[in-house]
Structure 1
Amino acid sequence: MKTWLAALASALTVTLASPVLAQDGGWSLAIHGGAGVIERGSLTPEQDAAYRAALDSALQVGAGVLDNGGSALDAVEAVIQVLEDDPLFNAGRGAVFTADGRIEHDAAIMDGTTLDAGAVAGLTRTRHPISAARAVMEDSPHVFLIGQGAETFARSQGLEEVDPAFFFTERRWRGLVRQLEREGLPVPVRPEGAPAEGAMAAVTPPLDERKFGTVGVVALDREGRLAAGTSTGGMSGKRWGRVGDVPVIGAGTYASNVEGCAVSATGSGEYFIRATVARDICARYAWETTYPEVEENRVTAILDSCPPEMICSAHMRRPVYIAASAEIREVGELGGEGGVIVMTRSGEAWFEMNTSGMYRGAASSTEPAWVAIYADDPEYSAEED
């Protein structure tokens, strides 16, 4: 079906979903660890296993928070903290370097019940940028803080600080060096305090892997509250203080109980900003659930084109599919790549991408945790619903 959809759409979109919660009072959780060119065979069996284990461990932390009655916000922060401490992902300890040889972190979090939000950009010492974003949301009159001011605020809140060398990983450094050499740009001096050059970590993706590293979480708690959060080291080799979509509320992160939707995005941030992806998905979803007849002709045309052997109608009539797929197609038409995870007010976790892979997973109070990497992982595709 994915091949057929690629031919039908102007840009390849792949849709995957987890089951809808069967009763009120349940919880649901979905996570991602970045999307990009992640094809079967690009990871060794050991690397594949390491990523799956890391995703599963993060899910278990979030599941524990939600199962014990914790809030969606608490679950989002706890899971992202785990991913920020894992050097496999481009956030926190696994973040990529700027062209100047620095590591700069961006993060955002949003409470769907109040529309309160917090975001930070350009952090270099705060261990958990997602916690800084939450502190901005809860303990400041602002939404978005950047650079040294954000760092000073995080320090005033008692958040843990580390030496920038804490975030150094050999594979990210080598990846930067190779990138700058290819582009004919000067290679900066190895960061002060970084470990002596040596062997790379035992489990690492290939240096040339083109992945938009961002980690994100969307959650629904037992009280029906939605929340979303995202954290990233940004784009490898970025210059001039570049900031992507992650901390831009409405582009890379958004949650609204009124619209019934929470979103975290990963991809080429400039395009997600231009398409205002996260908010638009929630707005489209709210529109579809209120006025489902508006898109009926478009959906009918797609279904009429579906080959008889394909099971297409199971997910194409779902408002969340219409909303998410439309936005990712728009990103593709602009020239961007990436994906989104979406949580609905009913606890339905949805995944949409126009790339060959996205590190991802989901769990709920009615379904066990599952994780996946490649776009063609068959176990959880919506066409089987």
Structure 2
Amino acid sequence: MNFKRLLSTIAVSLLILSAFGQQKYTIVIHGGAGLLSKEKISEERRAEYKAKLNEALDVGEKMLKSGAKATNVVVEVIKIMENSPLFNAGKGAVFTHDGGNELDASIMEGSTLNAGAIAGVRDIKNPIAAAFEVMNNSEHVLLSGAGASEFAKKQGLEIVPNKYFYNESRYQSLQRLLKKERERTNNDNTGTVGCAVLDIHGNLCAGTSTGGMTNKKYGRIGDSPIIGAGTYANNKTCAVSCTGHGEYYIRLGFARDISALMEYKNLPIADACREEIRKLSELNGTGGVIGVDAKGNIAMEFNTSGMFRGFAKSSGEREVAIFKTNKI
């Protein structure tokens, strides 16, 4: 009798382990969309982008395989891109009109619809980590400026002088714009980073981080820290992160609208993202979006000539790309 019970226990345990091992995960990332071409980006530079995107995917996959929560994966993956000068987020943030750097970030989890965001910060090394703390350790969703920095300090996050974000190529971009007395060019906001994840527990999460728009004035804030515009996640539908000309994303309620198209019109995630990009194009807005649904299906849509992007799935599927074609 005891032997039969032992066999039964072993059988149940094996079934549980088998089911756990078969759980699906998906991670999809972006590093900004814009006027990208092979003429403007050298082979050496493309190799740098490819290596960093693959590094981010590697870290995300390792965490997901070990059973990490989607929220933790999103934070760690985005931190990798924030710490790289290749992207307009964290270390590679673009310069404001006054010659400084102001950063925005947001994160949202699909299981609870809990969210956190920070905007206009000048001294937080990893803005996505601050957004995560707002989500988990405050009663608010969005904190800005000095208040957000004070909160981050109390949470023990790394604070750095604004000069940490200095990047010569970004600084020269500002100088060119100032010289031409223009507010922006079509590719100056290229580099916003984002991540959307489905973990093995069936939960979705999305996050976005950016340095905003080159030569921005008056404390301008784009869509990246706005829940429902640049970031959205709901276990019933999808997790999405956006990149592009933020003013248009805000006007459209872009990220939330994708979820609504899926919920109320039963559109697949790829179709919903394409429909929202169509609306963006009608307003003469430019940019892109990445997303994953509750079943692990992905979308990587954009109306520009390129978008730094990549994804990996538990099935073994994986891709990193820059231009319209899937070639790096």
Scaled by the length of structure 1, what TM-score is found?
A: 0.77
* 1:288 Cα deviation from its structure 2 partner: 3.4
Which residue of structure 2 aligns with residue 284 of structure 1?
261
Q: How does 1:204-283 map to 2 (within 5 A)?
A: 209-258=187-236, 260-283=237-260
Which residue of structure 2 aligns with residue 165 of structure 1?
163
Contact 1:213 1:234 in 2 (8 A): no
* 1:368 Cα deviation from its structure 2 partner: 4.2
Which residue of structure 2 aligns with residue 322 of structure 1?
271
1:322-359: CA deviation from partner (whole Å, max 9, x where unpaired):
21111111111111000000100001111111000000
**Take 1:164 and 1:61, find their aligned partners in 2: how far apart are those partners?**
28
**Take 2:244 and 2:235, find their aligned partners in 1: how far apart are those partners?**
25
SS at match of 2:86: coil
Which residue of structure 2 aligns with residue 361 of structure 1?
310
* 1:378 Cα deviation from its structure 2 partner: 5.8
* 1:39 Cα deviation from its structure 2 partner: 1.7
Q: How does 1:79-158 map to 2 (within 5 A)?
A: 79-158=77-156
Q: Please say if 1:50 is aligned against 2:27.
A: no
* 1:276 Cα deviation from its structure 2 partner: 0.6
Which of 343, 347, 359 aligns to 2:292? It is: 343
Percent sequence identity over matched residues?
A: 48
Matched to 1:241, the amino acid is G
Matched to 2:151, the amino acid is F
1:93-152: CA deviation from partner (whole Å, max 9, x where unpaired):
000000001100000000100000000001111111000001000000000000000000
Matched to 1:231, the amino acid is S
Give the 3 Å change call, closer, same or farther, for CA 370–322 of structure 1 in structure 2.
closer
Which residue of structure 1 aligns with residue 283 of structure 2?
334
**Take 2:136 and 2:172, find their aligned partners in 1: how far apart are those partners?**
38
The structure whose RCO (Cα within 8 Å, separation 6+) is larger is: 1
* 1:24 Cα deviation from its structure 2 partner: 5.7
**Take 2:216 and 2:291, find their aligned partners in 1: how far apart are those partners?**
28
**Take 1:125 and 1:274, find their aligned partners in 2: how far apart are those partners?**
29
Contact 1:118 1:144 in 2 (8 A): yes
Which residue of structure 2 aligns with residue 296 of structure 1?
none
Contact 1:212 1:268 in 2 (8 A): no
Matched to 1:327, the amino acid is E
Q: How does 1:292-331 map to 2 (within 5 A)?
A: 319-331=268-280
Q: Please say if 1:30 is aligned against 2:28.
A: yes
Contact 2:35 2:186 in 1 (8 A): no
Contact 1:230 1:252 in 2 (8 A): yes
**Take 2:110 and 2:284, find their aligned partners in 1: how far apart are those partners?**
30
SS at match of 2:221: coil
**Take 1:58 and 1:328, find their aligned partners in 2: how far apart are those partners?**
26
* 1:208 Cα deviation from its structure 2 partner: 9.1
**Take 2:31 and 2:249, find their aligned partners in 1: how far apart are those partners?**
17
**Take 2:320 and 2:117, find their aligned partners in 1: how far apart are those partners?**
28
* 1:376 Cα deviation from its structure 2 partner: 2.2
1:239-280: CA deviation from partner (whole Å, max 9, x where unpaired):
00000000000000000012x200000000000000111000
**Take 1:208 and 1:71, find their aligned partners in 2: how far apart are those partners?**
36
**Take 1:178 and 1:253, find their aligned partners in 2: how far apart are those partners?**
31
Contact 1:227 1:255 in 2 (8 A): yes
Contact 1:132 1:154 in 2 (8 A): yes
Contact 2:321 2:327 in 1 (8 A): no
1:56-99: CA deviation from partner (whole Å, max 9, x where unpaired):
01111111111110011011000000000000000000000000
Q: Which residues of structure 1 form unaligned runs of 5+? A: 1-22, 186-206, 290-317, 380-385
Give the 3 Å change call, closer, same or farther, for CA 63–184 of structure 1 in structure 2.
closer
Scaled by the length of structure 2, what TM-score is found?
A: 0.90
Q: Which residues of structure 2 form unaligned runs of 5+? A: 1-20
Contact 1:37 1:210 in 2 (8 A): no
Give the 3 Å change call, closer, same or farther, for CA 353–184 of structure 1 in structure 2.
closer
Contact 1:59 1:369 in 2 (8 A): no
Contact 1:123 1:146 in 2 (8 A): yes
Contact 1:234 1:243 in 2 (8 A): yes
Instruction: Find runs of 4+ consecutive structure 1 residues off by over 6 angstroms.
Output: none
* 1:230 Cα deviation from its structure 2 partner: 0.1
Matched to 1:151, the amino acid is S
